[in-house]
Structure 1
Amino acid sequence: MIFRPATRQDLPAVLALLAQDDGPAAAGPPEPAREPVSEAHELAFAAIEADPRNEMLILEEGGVLLGCLQLTYIPGLGQGGRERALVEAVRIRADRRGGGLGARLMELAADRARERGCGLIQLTSSKRRTAAHRFYERLGYTRSHEGFKLPLV
């Protein structure tokens, strides 16, 4: 298995993963055609790729994308001045869930944040993704804060 930064060529497969939900495992791989790559996606990916504080990371095996996540490194005065890592957009292919790939992906992300000197790793998860919440708790993440969001568009 390979853990690496995503490339532009991975973008359709990443978008297909992000379109999957926590429902029952699909019969096959995600369908990239369900989420066409828009100009906004292209611009967002280019911004992530150009920013040293952002990484879109993927887990692949035999050239097949199995999972992805985004890590953003946030500087701050807390945590002794150390950065914190924010995990977003965590997905494992629906037909490959339950086999330890998600735990491995999150472990690799935590290792990457540790190597960078981060003081903690944090994430938010939609309230409707209850299976994901159980997964994060099994990995040792705690519900330490309440989150708030304000849509701007």
Structure 2
Amino acid sequence: MILRPATRADLPAVLALLADEDRVVDPASMPVTAAYERAFADIEADPRNEVLVLVDGALVVGCLQATYIPGLGRGGAERALIEAVRIRADRRGGGLGRELMERAVARARARGCALVQLTSNKDRMAAHRFYASLGFARSHDGFKLSL
């Protein structure tokens, strides 16, 4: 398995992973709108953001987005925010999610981050158990405001 930053060519596969986490979606069926193009270009151009893909041969089997946030807490160290973690529905249960997250945490550590944080929908109980098995602790309640 290769973990690498996503390229524009990976965008349909990433969108397919994000579209439905319970079934495999054909990347060719994903409309890549101007908004997605803009967002991906912005992420790609920002040294504090990256979409990472886990690739098996030519197949994108997982993805996540990592954002590195500077801060004054923790001695001025960066923190990594991980979001949009997905593994293809037909490839779950074989340790790919663990591999993806462990490699993302290693990237954050190598970058000098003092903390990795993430949020997960309250309904995703299996995901919560998974994150806990990786050593993530429930330390805060998160709030969101849709605009």
TM class, shorter-length: over 0.9
How many aligned positions are there?
147
1:88 CA displacement: 0.5
Q: Paired residue for 1:31?
A: 26
Q: Paired residue for 2:16?
A: 16
Could you tell me how far apart the structure 2 residues matched to 1:35 and 1:126 are? 24
1:118 CA displacement: 0.2
Is 1:93 matched up with 2:88?
Answer: yes
Q: Paired residue for 2:7?
A: 7
Q: Paired residue for 1:74?
A: 69
Could you tell me how far apart the structure 1 residues matched to 2:30 and 2:126 are? 23
TM-superposition CA deviations, 1:93-118 (whole Å, max 9, x none): 00001100000000000000000000
Q: Paired residue for 1:60?
A: 55
Runs of at least 5 residues in structure 2 that lack an aligned partner in the other structure:
none
Q: Paired residue for 1:137?
A: 132
Among candidates 102, 109, 124, match of residue 107 of structure 1: 102
TM-superposition CA deviations, 1:119-144 (whole Å, max 9, x none): 01000011122221111011111110
Q: Secondary structure at the match of 2:103?
A: helix
Could you tell me how far apart the structure 1 residues matched to 2:144 and 2:114 are? 24
- Greater than 2 Å deviation, 4+ residue runs: none
Could you tell me how far apart the structure 2 residues matched to 1:130 and 1:46 are? 33
TM-superposition CA deviations, 1:22-60 (whole Å, max 9, x none): x4xx4xx43124531111100000000000000000000
Q: Provide TM-score, normalisation by structure 1.
A: 0.92
Could you tell me how far apart the structure 1 residues matched to 2:131 and 2:25 are? 23
Q: Paired residue for 1:149?
A: 144
Percent of residue pairs bearing the same amino acid type: 69
Q: Secondary structure at the match of 2:43?
A: helix
Q: Provide TM-score, normalisation by structure 2.
A: 0.96
